[in-house]
Structure 1
Amino acid sequence: MDDDDFVPISALQHYLYCPRQCALIHVEQVWAESVHTAQGRVLHERADRPRSAKRRGVRTVTAMPLAHAELRIRGIADVVEFHATAQGERAVPVEYKRGRPKTHRADEVQLCAQALCLEAMLGHTIPLGDLFYGETHRRVEVAFDDELRQLTYGTVTAVREMIAARLTPKAVYQARKCDACSLIDLCQPRVVGRHRCVSTWLAQQLHEA
Protein backbone atom coordinates (compact mmCIF):
# COMPACT_ATOMS: atom_id res chain seq x y z
CA MET A 1 0.00 0.00 0.00
CA ASP A 2 1.24 3.48 -0.87
CA ASP A 3 2.84 5.12 2.17
CA ASP A 4 1.01 8.36 1.33
CA ASP A 5 -2.27 6.55 1.98
CA PHE A 6 -1.47 6.18 5.69
CA VAL A 7 -2.58 8.79 8.24
CA PRO A 8 0.04 9.65 10.90
CA ILE A 9 -1.14 8.72 14.38
CA SER A 10 0.00 12.14 15.61
CA ALA A 11 -2.58 13.73 13.28
CA LEU A 12 -5.37 12.26 15.41
CA GLN A 13 -4.10 14.12 18.47
CA HIS A 14 -3.73 17.32 16.44
CA TYR A 15 -7.27 16.99 15.06
CA LEU A 16 -8.97 16.56 18.43
CA TYR A 17 -7.02 19.47 19.87
CA CYS A 18 -7.89 21.68 16.88
CA PRO A 19 -8.96 20.57 13.36
CA ARG A 20 -7.36 23.70 11.89
CA GLN A 21 -4.04 22.92 13.58
CA CYS A 22 -4.21 19.42 12.10
CA ALA A 23 -4.82 20.82 8.60
CA LEU A 24 -2.02 23.36 8.88
CA ILE A 25 0.45 20.59 9.76
CA HIS A 26 -0.78 17.72 7.62
CA VAL A 27 -2.39 19.51 4.65
CA GLU A 28 -0.53 22.81 4.32
CA GLN A 29 2.71 21.34 5.71
CA VAL A 30 3.60 24.26 8.01
CA TRP A 31 5.25 24.07 11.41
CA ALA A 32 6.73 26.39 14.03
CA GLU A 33 8.68 25.65 17.19
CA SER A 34 7.77 27.11 20.57
CA VAL A 35 8.99 26.74 24.14
CA HIS A 36 6.30 24.12 24.73
CA THR A 37 7.10 22.06 21.62
CA ALA A 38 10.83 22.30 22.36
CA GLN A 39 10.24 21.00 25.88
CA GLY A 40 8.16 18.16 24.48
CA ARG A 41 10.91 17.31 21.99
CA VAL A 42 13.49 17.15 24.78
CA LEU A 43 11.18 14.90 26.81
CA HIS A 44 10.89 12.54 23.84
CA GLU A 45 14.61 12.41 23.05
CA ARG A 46 15.33 9.45 25.30
CA ALA A 47 12.36 7.46 24.05
CA ASP A 48 13.08 8.40 20.43
CA ARG A 49 16.30 6.34 20.41
CA PRO A 50 15.40 2.80 19.25
CA ARG A 51 16.51 0.24 21.80
CA SER A 52 15.31 -2.76 23.77
CA ALA A 53 16.05 -3.67 27.38
CA LYS A 54 14.68 -6.11 29.92
CA ARG A 55 14.38 -5.59 33.67
CA ARG A 56 12.34 -7.37 36.33
CA GLY A 57 10.30 -9.33 33.82
CA VAL A 58 9.44 -6.30 31.67
CA ARG A 59 10.92 -5.92 28.20
CA THR A 60 10.95 -2.27 27.13
CA VAL A 61 11.14 -1.23 23.48
CA THR A 62 11.53 2.45 22.57
CA ALA A 63 10.76 4.20 19.26
CA MET A 64 8.80 1.19 18.01
CA PRO A 65 7.32 1.59 14.49
CA LEU A 66 3.58 0.89 14.33
CA ALA A 67 1.13 0.38 11.49
CA HIS A 68 -2.42 -0.83 10.91
CA ALA A 69 -2.99 -1.87 7.29
CA GLU A 70 -6.80 -1.93 7.50
CA LEU A 71 -7.19 1.44 9.23
CA ARG A 72 -4.23 2.83 7.21
CA ILE A 73 -2.62 4.56 10.16
CA ARG A 74 1.01 4.48 11.22
CA GLY A 75 3.38 6.06 13.70
CA ILE A 76 6.08 5.43 16.27
CA ALA A 77 5.36 4.48 19.87
CA ASP A 78 7.49 6.29 22.44
CA VAL A 79 7.65 3.15 24.57
CA VAL A 80 6.04 -0.28 24.45
CA GLU A 81 6.43 -2.42 27.55
CA PHE A 82 6.06 -6.18 27.25
CA HIS A 83 5.06 -7.63 30.62
CA ALA A 84 5.62 -11.33 31.23
CA THR A 85 2.43 -13.26 32.08
CA ALA A 86 1.43 -16.90 32.27
CA GLN A 87 -0.14 -16.55 28.81
CA GLY A 88 2.93 -14.83 27.33
CA GLU A 89 3.98 -11.20 26.98
CA ARG A 90 1.33 -8.47 27.41
CA ALA A 91 2.04 -5.26 25.49
CA VAL A 92 1.44 -1.87 27.15
CA PRO A 93 1.98 1.28 25.04
CA VAL A 94 3.32 4.30 26.94
CA GLU A 95 3.14 7.81 25.44
CA TYR A 96 5.19 10.69 26.86
CA LYS A 97 3.63 14.16 27.11
CA ARG A 98 5.22 17.42 28.21
CA GLY A 99 2.46 18.95 30.32
CA ARG A 100 -0.26 17.56 32.54
CA PRO A 101 -3.48 15.52 32.01
CA LYS A 102 -5.98 17.25 29.70
CA THR A 103 -9.72 17.80 29.89
CA HIS A 104 -10.11 16.64 26.27
CA ARG A 105 -9.36 13.12 25.00
CA ALA A 106 -6.78 13.87 22.29
CA ASP A 107 -3.92 12.17 24.15
CA GLU A 108 -6.07 9.13 24.91
CA VAL A 109 -7.06 8.73 21.25
CA GLN A 110 -3.43 8.92 20.17
CA LEU A 111 -2.56 6.18 22.67
CA CYS A 112 -5.57 4.08 21.65
CA ALA A 113 -4.50 4.28 18.00
CA GLN A 114 -1.12 2.91 19.04
CA ALA A 115 -2.88 0.04 20.83
CA LEU A 116 -4.97 -0.74 17.73
CA CYS A 117 -1.79 -0.97 15.68
CA LEU A 118 -0.18 -3.25 18.25
CA GLU A 119 -3.27 -5.47 18.29
CA ALA A 120 -3.09 -5.83 14.51
CA MET A 121 0.65 -6.51 14.62
CA LEU A 122 0.71 -8.90 17.60
CA GLY A 123 -2.64 -10.63 17.17
CA HIS A 124 -4.04 -10.13 20.67
CA THR A 125 -6.18 -7.60 22.53
CA ILE A 126 -4.50 -4.79 24.44
CA PRO A 127 -6.79 -3.50 27.20
CA LEU A 128 -4.62 -0.80 28.82
CA GLY A 129 -1.94 1.78 28.16
CA ASP A 130 -0.27 4.65 30.03
CA LEU A 131 0.23 8.38 29.46
CA PHE A 132 3.29 9.81 31.22
CA TYR A 133 3.11 13.57 31.86
CA GLY A 134 6.37 15.45 32.32
CA GLU A 135 4.90 18.22 34.45
CA THR A 136 3.48 15.86 37.07
CA HIS A 137 6.01 13.03 36.58
CA ARG A 138 3.16 10.57 36.86
CA ARG A 139 1.53 7.95 34.70
CA VAL A 140 -2.17 7.97 33.93
CA GLU A 141 -3.64 4.58 33.07
CA VAL A 142 -5.94 4.56 30.03
CA ALA A 143 -8.50 1.78 29.44
CA PHE A 144 -9.17 1.07 25.78
CA ASP A 145 -12.91 0.59 26.21
CA ASP A 146 -15.55 0.61 23.46
CA GLU A 147 -16.22 4.34 23.83
CA LEU A 148 -12.57 5.30 23.35
CA ARG A 149 -12.14 2.86 20.48
CA GLN A 150 -15.19 4.25 18.65
CA LEU A 151 -13.90 7.82 19.17
CA THR A 152 -10.57 6.75 17.72
CA TYR A 153 -12.15 5.09 14.68
CA GLY A 154 -14.27 8.19 14.09
CA THR A 155 -11.26 10.48 14.37
CA VAL A 156 -9.29 8.40 11.86
CA THR A 157 -12.16 8.77 9.38
CA ALA A 158 -12.50 12.52 9.98
CA VAL A 159 -8.77 13.16 9.56
CA ARG A 160 -8.60 11.04 6.41
CA GLU A 161 -11.52 12.91 4.84
CA MET A 162 -10.04 16.30 5.72
CA ILE A 163 -6.64 15.43 4.28
CA ALA A 164 -8.18 13.94 1.13
CA ALA A 165 -10.29 17.07 0.59
CA ARG A 166 -7.23 19.27 1.30
CA LEU A 167 -9.41 21.78 3.09
CA THR A 168 -8.28 23.86 6.05
CA PRO A 169 -11.07 24.66 8.53
CA LYS A 170 -11.75 28.32 9.25
CA ALA A 171 -9.95 29.99 12.11
CA VAL A 172 -11.93 30.31 15.34
CA TYR A 173 -10.01 32.06 18.10
CA GLN A 174 -10.12 30.31 21.49
CA ALA A 175 -7.71 31.90 23.93
CA ARG A 176 -7.02 28.77 25.98
CA LYS A 177 -6.01 26.74 22.93
CA CYS A 178 -4.74 29.36 20.49
CA ASP A 179 -2.43 31.20 22.87
CA ALA A 180 -0.67 27.92 23.72
CA CYS A 181 -0.34 26.82 20.08
CA SER A 182 3.06 27.13 18.38
CA LEU A 183 1.30 27.85 15.08
CA ILE A 184 -0.60 30.93 16.26
CA ASP A 185 1.53 33.36 14.22
CA LEU A 186 1.01 31.27 11.08
CA CYS A 187 -2.63 30.53 11.79
CA GLN A 188 -3.57 34.13 12.67
CA PRO A 189 -6.94 33.08 14.16
CA ARG A 190 -7.94 36.69 14.86
CA VAL A 191 -7.12 37.85 11.34
CA VAL A 192 -7.57 35.12 8.75
CA GLY A 193 -10.99 35.18 7.06
CA ARG A 194 -13.45 32.33 6.90
CA HIS A 195 -12.37 30.89 3.54
CA ARG A 196 -8.71 31.91 3.47
CA CYS A 197 -5.97 29.36 4.04
CA VAL A 198 -2.63 30.22 5.57
CA SER A 199 -0.79 30.06 2.22
CA THR A 200 -3.19 32.64 0.78
CA TRP A 201 -2.73 34.93 3.78
CA LEU A 202 1.07 34.64 3.58
CA ALA A 203 1.01 35.39 -0.15
CA GLN A 204 -1.01 38.55 0.48
CA GLN A 205 1.40 39.67 3.21
CA LEU A 206 4.36 39.23 0.83
CA HIS A 207 2.51 41.09 -1.92
CA GLU A 208 1.71 44.00 0.38
CA ALA A 209 5.32 44.08 1.64
Structure 2
Amino acid sequence: MNEGDELVNIGHINQYLYCPRRYYYINYFDTIEMNFYLKDGQLKHQNQSRRGGWIRELYLKSEKLGIHGKIDVLESKNIKSVGTTLTPIERKRGSSYHDNDEVQLAAYCMLLEDYLDEPVRMGYLYLFGTNERYAITITDWHREKVLQVVQAIRNMTLDNIPEFVDNPNKCEKCSTVQYCLPEETKMLEREDAKKVRRERNE
Protein backbone atom coordinates (compact mmCIF):
# COMPACT_ATOMS: atom_id res chain seq x y z
CA MET A 1 0.00 0.00 0.00
CA ASN A 2 1.39 3.38 -1.04
CA GLU A 3 1.38 6.41 1.21
CA GLY A 4 -1.81 8.39 0.69
CA ASP A 5 -3.86 5.43 -0.53
CA GLU A 6 -7.12 4.97 1.34
CA LEU A 7 -8.25 1.61 2.66
CA VAL A 8 -10.96 0.04 0.51
CA ASN A 9 -14.11 -1.15 2.26
CA ILE A 10 -14.62 -4.85 1.50
CA GLY A 11 -18.31 -4.26 0.82
CA HIS A 12 -17.25 -1.96 -2.02
CA ILE A 13 -15.36 -4.84 -3.64
CA ASN A 14 -18.66 -6.69 -4.02
CA GLN A 15 -20.40 -3.58 -5.34
CA TYR A 16 -17.66 -2.93 -7.88
CA LEU A 17 -17.74 -6.51 -9.17
CA TYR A 18 -21.54 -6.43 -9.40
CA CYS A 19 -21.39 -3.25 -11.48
CA PRO A 20 -18.48 -0.76 -11.63
CA ARG A 21 -20.86 1.93 -12.91
CA ARG A 22 -23.15 1.51 -9.90
CA TYR A 23 -20.18 1.75 -7.57
CA TYR A 24 -19.03 4.91 -9.37
CA TYR A 25 -22.30 6.71 -8.65
CA ILE A 26 -22.39 5.55 -5.04
CA ASN A 27 -18.77 6.53 -4.45
CA TYR A 28 -18.76 9.96 -6.06
CA PHE A 29 -22.36 11.14 -5.73
CA ASP A 30 -23.69 9.28 -2.67
CA THR A 31 -26.64 8.13 -4.76
CA ILE A 32 -27.55 4.90 -2.99
CA GLU A 33 -31.29 4.78 -2.35
CA MET A 34 -33.27 2.41 -0.16
CA ASN A 35 -35.26 -0.05 -2.23
CA PHE A 36 -37.04 -3.32 -1.41
CA TYR A 37 -33.97 -5.48 -1.93
CA LEU A 38 -31.72 -3.35 0.29
CA LYS A 39 -34.33 -3.03 3.05
CA ASP A 40 -35.16 -6.73 2.94
CA GLY A 41 -31.48 -7.61 3.22
CA GLN A 42 -31.01 -5.29 6.20
CA LEU A 43 -33.99 -6.77 8.05
CA LYS A 44 -32.77 -10.31 7.45
CA HIS A 45 -29.37 -9.39 8.91
CA GLN A 46 -30.99 -7.79 11.96
CA ASN A 47 -33.35 -10.70 12.60
CA GLN A 48 -30.79 -13.47 12.16
CA SER A 49 -30.91 -15.78 15.18
CA ARG A 50 -27.95 -16.01 17.53
CA ARG A 51 -26.21 -19.26 18.31
CA GLY A 52 -23.34 -20.48 20.43
CA GLY A 53 -19.83 -20.37 19.02
CA TRP A 54 -20.49 -17.24 16.98
CA ILE A 55 -18.63 -13.95 17.19
CA ARG A 56 -20.74 -11.25 15.57
CA GLU A 57 -19.61 -8.20 13.60
CA LEU A 58 -15.84 -8.03 14.04
CA TYR A 59 -14.25 -4.95 12.47
CA LEU A 60 -10.72 -5.36 11.09
CA LYS A 61 -8.36 -3.43 8.83
CA SER A 62 -5.10 -4.18 7.06
CA GLU A 63 -2.65 -1.58 5.81
CA LYS A 64 -0.73 -4.31 3.99
CA LEU A 65 -3.75 -5.46 1.98
CA GLY A 66 -5.28 -2.01 1.73
CA ILE A 67 -8.71 -3.15 2.92
CA HIS A 68 -11.00 -2.85 5.92
CA GLY A 69 -14.41 -4.19 6.82
CA LYS A 70 -16.78 -5.74 9.31
CA ILE A 71 -17.13 -9.51 9.20
CA ASP A 72 -20.80 -10.46 9.67
CA VAL A 73 -20.16 -13.55 11.76
CA LEU A 74 -17.13 -15.57 12.86
CA GLU A 75 -17.67 -19.19 13.76
CA SER A 76 -15.36 -20.38 16.52
CA LYS A 77 -14.54 -24.08 16.84
CA ASN A 78 -12.15 -25.99 19.05
CA ILE A 79 -10.34 -28.71 17.10
CA LYS A 80 -7.98 -30.93 19.05
CA SER A 81 -5.27 -31.10 16.41
CA VAL A 82 -5.13 -27.36 15.67
CA GLY A 83 -6.84 -25.61 18.58
CA THR A 84 -9.42 -22.85 18.07
CA THR A 85 -10.28 -21.96 14.48
CA LEU A 86 -12.19 -18.91 13.27
CA THR A 87 -14.19 -19.08 10.04
CA PRO A 88 -15.90 -16.04 8.45
CA ILE A 89 -19.58 -16.30 7.52
CA GLU A 90 -21.02 -13.79 5.06
CA ARG A 91 -24.83 -13.62 4.90
CA LYS A 92 -26.80 -12.92 1.71
CA ARG A 93 -30.52 -12.35 1.20
CA GLY A 94 -31.05 -14.41 -1.97
CA SER A 95 -31.23 -18.08 -2.87
CA SER A 96 -27.98 -18.22 -4.84
CA TYR A 97 -24.53 -16.68 -4.76
CA HIS A 98 -22.17 -15.41 -7.42
CA ASP A 99 -18.49 -14.74 -8.03
CA ASN A 100 -18.69 -11.27 -6.48
CA ASP A 101 -20.00 -12.81 -3.25
CA GLU A 102 -17.16 -15.33 -3.20
CA VAL A 103 -14.58 -12.59 -3.76
CA GLN A 104 -16.06 -10.52 -0.94
CA LEU A 105 -15.84 -13.54 1.36
CA ALA A 106 -12.25 -14.13 0.23
CA ALA A 107 -11.38 -10.55 1.17
CA TYR A 108 -12.72 -11.15 4.68
CA CYS A 109 -10.66 -14.35 4.92
CA MET A 110 -7.54 -12.46 3.82
CA LEU A 111 -8.27 -9.73 6.36
CA LEU A 112 -8.65 -12.32 9.11
CA GLU A 113 -5.43 -14.02 7.98
CA ASP A 114 -3.55 -10.77 8.35
CA TYR A 115 -5.04 -10.22 11.81
CA LEU A 116 -4.34 -13.75 13.09
CA ASP A 117 -1.08 -14.22 11.18
CA GLU A 118 -2.20 -17.70 10.16
CA PRO A 119 -3.91 -19.18 7.08
CA VAL A 120 -7.68 -18.90 6.60
CA ARG A 121 -8.45 -21.19 3.69
CA MET A 122 -12.24 -21.24 3.69
CA GLY A 123 -15.36 -19.37 4.66
CA TYR A 124 -19.12 -19.78 4.45
CA LEU A 125 -21.82 -18.01 2.46
CA TYR A 126 -25.15 -18.23 4.27
CA LEU A 127 -28.21 -17.67 2.08
CA PHE A 128 -31.43 -16.52 3.73
CA GLY A 129 -33.39 -17.74 0.71
CA THR A 130 -32.39 -21.38 1.28
CA ASN A 131 -31.57 -21.21 5.00
CA GLU A 132 -28.35 -23.04 4.19
CA ARG A 133 -24.69 -22.17 4.20
CA TYR A 134 -22.14 -23.13 1.59
CA ALA A 135 -18.45 -23.76 2.21
CA ILE A 136 -16.21 -21.75 -0.12
CA THR A 137 -12.57 -22.73 -0.51
CA ILE A 138 -10.45 -19.62 -0.99
CA THR A 139 -8.26 -20.10 -4.06
CA ASP A 140 -5.43 -18.13 -5.63
CA TRP A 141 -7.97 -16.80 -8.14
CA HIS A 142 -10.05 -15.32 -5.31
CA ARG A 143 -7.00 -13.70 -3.72
CA GLU A 144 -5.74 -12.23 -6.98
CA LYS A 145 -9.21 -10.91 -7.78
CA VAL A 146 -9.40 -9.12 -4.43
CA LEU A 147 -6.11 -7.32 -5.09
CA GLN A 148 -7.10 -6.48 -8.68
CA VAL A 149 -10.39 -4.91 -7.60
CA VAL A 150 -8.75 -2.95 -4.79
CA GLN A 151 -6.38 -1.43 -7.34
CA ALA A 152 -9.20 -0.78 -9.82
CA ILE A 153 -11.19 1.07 -7.16
CA ARG A 154 -8.17 3.19 -6.28
CA ASN A 155 -7.60 3.99 -9.95
CA MET A 156 -11.19 5.15 -10.45
CA THR A 157 -11.59 8.86 -11.19
CA LEU A 158 -14.55 11.23 -11.29
CA ASP A 159 -14.13 12.05 -14.98
CA ASN A 160 -14.04 8.42 -16.14
CA ILE A 161 -17.50 6.83 -15.89
CA PRO A 162 -17.42 3.02 -16.26
CA GLU A 163 -19.34 1.34 -19.06
CA PHE A 164 -22.70 -0.35 -18.54
CA VAL A 165 -22.66 -4.00 -17.49
CA ASP A 166 -23.55 -6.65 -20.07
CA ASN A 167 -26.43 -7.99 -17.97
CA PRO A 168 -29.39 -5.54 -18.12
CA ASN A 169 -31.28 -7.59 -15.50
CA LYS A 170 -28.99 -6.09 -12.87
CA CYS A 171 -30.43 -2.66 -13.61
CA GLU A 172 -33.94 -3.73 -12.57
CA LYS A 173 -32.90 -4.26 -8.94
CA CYS A 174 -30.30 -1.50 -8.79
CA SER A 175 -30.71 1.22 -6.17
CA THR A 176 -28.95 3.82 -8.37
CA VAL A 177 -30.84 3.23 -11.63
CA GLN A 178 -32.53 6.66 -11.47
CA TYR A 179 -29.09 8.30 -11.50
CA CYS A 180 -27.35 5.96 -13.92
CA LEU A 181 -30.28 6.11 -16.41
CA PRO A 182 -29.18 3.13 -18.52
CA GLU A 183 -32.12 3.11 -20.94
CA GLU A 184 -32.11 6.87 -21.44
CA THR A 185 -28.34 6.96 -21.93
CA LYS A 186 -28.39 4.13 -24.45
CA MET A 187 -31.22 5.84 -26.35
CA LEU A 188 -29.21 9.07 -26.58
CA GLU A 189 -26.14 7.11 -27.69
CA ARG A 190 -28.17 5.50 -30.49
CA GLU A 191 -29.45 8.92 -31.57
CA ASP A 192 -25.91 10.31 -31.57
CA ALA A 193 -24.72 7.34 -33.65
CA LYS A 194 -27.52 7.95 -36.18
CA LYS A 195 -26.58 11.63 -36.38
CA VAL A 196 -22.94 10.77 -37.06
CA ARG A 197 -23.94 8.34 -39.83
CA ARG A 198 -26.20 10.96 -41.44
CA GLU A 199 -23.43 13.55 -41.37
CA ARG A 200 -21.01 11.11 -42.99
CA ASN A 201 -23.48 10.36 -45.78
CA GLU A 202 -24.16 14.01 -46.58
1:179 corresponds to: 172
Separation (CA, whole Å) in 1 of partners of 2:90 and 2:167: 26
Q: Is the 8 A contact 2:106 2:146 kept in 1?
A: yes
Q: Is the 8 A contact 1:173 1:190 kept in 2?
A: no
Query: How many correspondences in the alignment?
Result: 183
Separation (CA, whole Å) in 1 of partners of 2:168 and 2:13: 22
Q: CA deviation at 1:54?
A: 7.6
Greater Rg by CA = 2
- Tell me, what secondary structure is at the counterpart of 1:190? helix
- Tell me, what secondary structure is at the counterpart of 2:16? helix
Q: CA deviation at 1:193?
A: 6.8
After TM superposition, the score normalised by the length of structure 2 is 0.82
Q: Is the 8 A contact 1:63 1:77 kept in 2?
A: yes
Q: CA deviation at 1:90?
A: 1.1
Q: Is the 8 A contact 2:24 2:161 kept in 1?
A: yes
After TM superposition, the score normalised by the length of structure 1 is 0.79
Q: Within the alignment, does 1:16 sit opposite 2:17 as a pair? A: yes
Separation (CA, whole Å) in 2 of partners of 1:137 and 1:42: 15
Q: Structure 1 vs Structure 2: percent identity of aligned residues?
A: 30
Q: Is the 8 A contact 2:75 2:89 kept in 1?
A: yes
Output the amino acid matched with 2:92: K
Separation (CA, whole Å) in 2 of partners of 1:125 and 1:190: 46
Q: Within the alignment, does 1:74 sit opposite 2:68 as a pair? A: yes
Report matched runs for 1:37-186 at 5 Å: 37-46=38-47, 55=52, 59-86=53-80, 87-102=82-97, 104-162=98-156, 165-166=157-158, 167-171=160-164, 174-186=167-179
State which drifts further: 146-155 or 184-193. 184-193
1:189 corresponds to: 182
Q: CA deviation at 1:4?
A: 7.6
Separation (CA, whole Å) in 2 of partners of 1:188 and 1:154: 27
Alpha-carbon RMSD: 2.4
Separation (CA, whole Å) in 2 of partners of 1:109 and 1:127: 13
Separation (CA, whole Å) in 2 of partners of 1:107 and 1:172: 17
